[in-house]
Chain A
Amino acid sequence: MEKFITLIDTAVPLDSENVDTDQIIPARFLKATDKAGFGENLFRDWRFKKDGSKNEDFILNDPKYKGSILVAGNNFGCGSSREHAAWAIKAYGFKAVVSSYFADIFKGNALNNGVLPVQVSPEFLEKLFTAINLNPAQEIQIDLEKQQIEIKGTDLKENFDIDPYKKTCLINGYDDIDFLVSKLDSIKKFEEKNVSKKHPEAQM
């Protein structure tokens, strides 16, 4: 996995709440058996009209807004557990998603793919939207080490939470599989001990 340390970039403001994973990647694109190509279908039905032409009203099609940070409304990523949503966001080129709330499974999926979910207060989210709308070239800085997000060139900043274990993984580019495989001995011991769990009388 790629390491994540500090990100300074412009952002795309997606001012919608409850963006669900069916919008991020519609189910009809889940037939793939590898991870390639999902970026093209990110927000497919919002980006393109039924006839295949671009929907110029959708923010991702607005040439004013670019960058690897997606700023989105409350409760981002709700709905299905499809990791395809995180793959699509990553493949499209986003490295971080900022929202005032993330659905659990999406958050985990994003972290497992090196995409940083940054949860900010609703007030700070408003400030971000305002700043980006005023100036699409506004840079945002996300410092994972300090757990801080900042609107560059202003004194607007906020700290964000992240699980310390996940933070270490992201900074070092580790993932959970490596870690769990290194624990197989304790897992086997746990299994042996727990055969008795099925027979509680043996424990008393």
Chain B
Amino acid sequence: MKKKTLFDKIWDAHVVESIPNGPDILYIDKHLIHEVTSPQAFNELKEREIPVFRPEQIVATADHNTPTENQHLPVKDLLSRKQLKELSQNCEENNITLYGLGHPYNGIVHVMAPELGITQPGMTIVCGDSHTSTHGAFGTIAFGIGTSQVSQVFASQCLLVEKPKKLRVNVNGKLKKGVLPKDVILYIISKLGTNSGTGYFCEYAGNVFEEMSMEGRMTVCNMSIEMGARGGLIAPDETTFEYVKGREFAPKGLEFENQLEYWKTLKSDEGAEFDKEYTFEAEDIEPMITYGTNPGMGIKLTGSIPTEGNKSDAKALAYMDFKPGETLLEKPINYIFIGSCTNSRIEDFRVAASYIKGKQKAENVNALIVPGSRQVAAQIKEEGLDKVFEEAGFKLRQPGCSACLAMNDDKIPEGEYCVSTSNRNFEGRQGQGSRTILASPLTAAATAVAGKITDFTKSLN
């Protein structure tokens, strides 16, 4: 029998039909939607008078375009309000479950679905959002799609897609103190570049990922798209099963046991072939920051900006107002953002709070601390982390995408630097003229306390 990768196993189990010389018809188990990329898809269907085929396999949330303060009040921005209203109407008309603003299950789509047990191993999941790759942490084929594809899934619960090639990234060894999953993925992208994964689905393997929590694995898989890959995935194991078990929409009782049998088969066969493979040593990884305008432009926190670059690199440095050869240590920073589907889960706040505890926020720093979901927000309270933040001078916001893409009021002003736990440092991503430095929640917390970029690793015990 041909040896299969984890990716092959899931993909092949979902192919309805292969079109000769063409794409596969891939069956989609779960379709997640949000307010920004769905309205035109609903319209398309309406115009063609096609019904939504499997509404019970769709889950909706409002996250991209929502305020992070006063969520109980009507949304001030009229266009945003209209977009949210359209989502509610479309969901209602089509019998789709919506966890809208204010619902206890509301949150960023890639945070709420896993924590509700909607995301399960072996599934195919799509969403009109590129960071759908996050769900791959469960051993799931999950990828972002465009709005035309959203309408295709509405119409048929399937997609026409060519099977991507397979890439494997191995990281083995022991991570240094202060190195978080975010640093691991920023390191990988800085080594491989932003288009190394184009056309591929990436499996992450090695003891570093095996020992990672689900939250950490989600952070890693989330950023697969930043190296160009459609998605990333990690073989499900005890950590995964333990996480899924007992969650709201996870299978229960005998059904869980049956599923578990199947989930346990979901790993790459020994000797299965990958089209490309890279291996890194955990010991080489240090806390990372980015200095440019794409996520591949990363260096270690204590490193300096490379002196060799092309025209595009020079343009990026000009935008960031950095110089080749410069170190970012001691750079004053006025904004930090802890949030986004990359780093807004409970663990991210635990690690930030544990650093902040007993310290004070620097005067010059404006901090946006935004949980990924209502459930995360509730857990922060339960664990008393909100007190830690408050005592240090930080205020917690309400959940949403927030300053990750600055569609709402949470914007970084022109010319200002923001050390951000989000996933993209593109020009203007956090507001027109804003300058984003991507980092882990620990680095962001340390920056907030110091008021500048600082080598916090020295103070870790």
A residues apposed to B, CB below 8 Å: 16-18, 20, 22-23, 26-28, 30-35, 45, 50, 73-75, 78-84, 86, 101-105, 108-109, 112-113, 163-165, 175-177, 179-181, 183-184, 186-187, 190-191, 194, 197-201
Q: List 12 A-B contacts (CB under 8 A).
A: A18-B194, A31-B65, A45-B427, A80-B144, A82-B36, A101-B195, A104-B164, A108-B149, A112-B149, A176-B159, A181-B50, A186-B17
Interface membership of B459, Cβ < 8 A: no
Contact B16 A183 (CB under 8 A): yes
Interface membership of B461, Cβ < 8 A: no
With CB as the reference atom, state the residue of chain A lying closest to B25: A183
Number of interface residues of B (CB under 8 A): 73
A80 to B146, CA, bound (A): 9
How distant is B44 from chain A, measured CB to nearest CB, in Å? 7
A175 to B147, CA, bound (A): 13
Contact B261 A200 (CB under 8 A): yes
Interface membership of B424, Cβ < 8 A: yes
How distant is B296 from chain A, measured CB to nearest CB, in Å? 9
A80 to B145, CA, bound (A): 9
- Residue of A35, A83, A104, A181 near B230 (CB, 8 A) is A104
**Which residues of chain B have C-beta atoms less than 8 A from A102's C-beta?**
198
B residues apposed to A, CB below 8 Å: 13, 16-17, 19, 21-23, 25, 27, 36-37, 39-40, 43-44, 48, 50, 53, 64-65, 77, 79-80, 82-83, 86, 128-130, 144-149, 151-152, 155-160, 162, 164, 194-195, 198-199, 228, 230, 255, 258-259, 261-262, 265, 294, 310-312, 315, 405-407, 414, 424, 426-429, 432-433
Contact A177 B312 (CB under 8 A): no
Contact A20 B83 (CB under 8 A): no
Contact B262 A197 (CB under 8 A): yes
A73 to B433, CA, bound (A): 22
How distant is A178 from chain B, measured CB to nearest CB, in Å? 9
Contact B265 A33 (CB under 8 A): no
**Which residues of chain A have C-beta atoms less than 8 A from B265's C-beta?**
200
Contact B80 A20 (CB under 8 A): no
Contact A26 B428 (CB under 8 A): yes
- Residue of A17, A81, A112, A184 near B130 (CB, 8 A) is A81
- Residue of B151, B160, B230, B426 near A20 (CB, 8 A) is B426
**Which residues of chain A have C-beta atoms less than 8 A from B79's C-beta?**
31-32
**Which residues of chain B have C-beta atoms less than 8 A from A198's C-beta?**
255, 258-259, 262
Q: Which 8 A-B pairs have the closest CB atoms?
A: A165-B22, A112-B148, A33-B39, A83-B146, A180-B156, A109-B146, A31-B79, A81-B144
Contact B424 A183 (CB under 8 A): no
A177 to B79, CA, bound (A): 29
**Which residues of chain B have C-beta atoms less than 8 A from A20's C-beta?**
294, 424, 426
Q: Knowing that A22-B405, A183-B16 are A-B contacts, what are 16 other residue pairs whose CB atoms are under 8 Å apart, sorted by A's residue number?
A: A16-B315, A17-B310, A22-B428, A27-B406, A33-B43, A45-B428, A50-B433, A78-B194, A81-B37, A101-B195, A103-B198, A105-B130, A112-B148, A176-B152, A187-B157, A197-B262
Contact B148 A83 (CB under 8 A): yes
Contact B160 A165 (CB under 8 A): yes
Contact B160 A176 (CB under 8 A): yes
How distant is B112 from chain A, measured CB to nearest CB, in Å? 18
Contact A34 B22 (CB under 8 A): no
**Which residues of chain B have C-beta atoms less than 8 A from A23's C-beta?**
426-428
Contact A22 B427 (CB under 8 A): yes
**Which residues of chain B have C-beta atoms less than 8 A from A176's C-beta?**
148-149, 152, 159-160
**Which residues of chain B have C-beta atoms less than 8 A from A184's C-beta?**
53, 156
**Which residues of chain A have C-beta atoms less than 8 A from B228's C-beta?**
75, 78, 103-104
Contact A27 B405 (CB under 8 A): yes
**Which residues of chain A have C-beta atoms less than 8 A from B53's C-beta?**
184, 187
A32 to B37, CA, bound (A): 10
Contact B262 A181 (CB under 8 A): no
Contact B407 A31 (CB under 8 A): yes
**Which of A108, A113, A165, A200 is most buried by chain B, counting CB atoms within 10 A of its CB?**
A108
With CB as the reference atom, state the residue of chain A lying closest to B65: A31
How distant is B111 from chain A, measured CB to nearest CB, in Å? 17
- Residue of B86, B149, B157, B230 near A33 (CB, 8 A) is B86
How distant is A152 from chain B, measured CB to nearest CB, in Å? 28
- Residue of A34, A79, A177 near B48 (CB, 8 A) is A177
- Residue of B44, B128, B294 near A177 (CB, 8 A) is B44
A28 to B36, CA, bound (A): 11
How distant is B57 from chain A, measured CB to nearest CB, in Å? 10
How distant is B128 from chain A, measured CB to nearest CB, in Å? 6
A56 to B190, CA, bound (A): 34
Contact B158 A183 (CB under 8 A): yes
How distant is A180 from chain B, measured CB to nearest CB, in Å? 4
Contact B130 A165 (CB under 8 A): no
A165 to B161, CA, bound (A): 10
A199 to B43, CA, bound (A): 38
How distant is A73 from chain B, measured CB to nearest CB, in Å? 7
- Residue of A30, A75, A82, A183 near B156 (CB, 8 A) is A183
- Residue of B43, B159, B162 near A163 (CB, 8 A) is B162
A183 to B262, CA, bound (A): 28
Contact A79 B83 (CB under 8 A): no
Contact A34 B407 (CB under 8 A): no
A93 to B405, CA, bound (A): 27
Contact B160 A180 (CB under 8 A): yes
Contact B37 A181 (CB under 8 A): no
Given A78-B294, A105-B145, A177-B50, the answer on whether A190 and B27 have CB atoms closer than 8 Å is yes
Contact B428 A165 (CB under 8 A): no
How distant is A13 from chain B, measured CB to nearest CB, in Å? 14
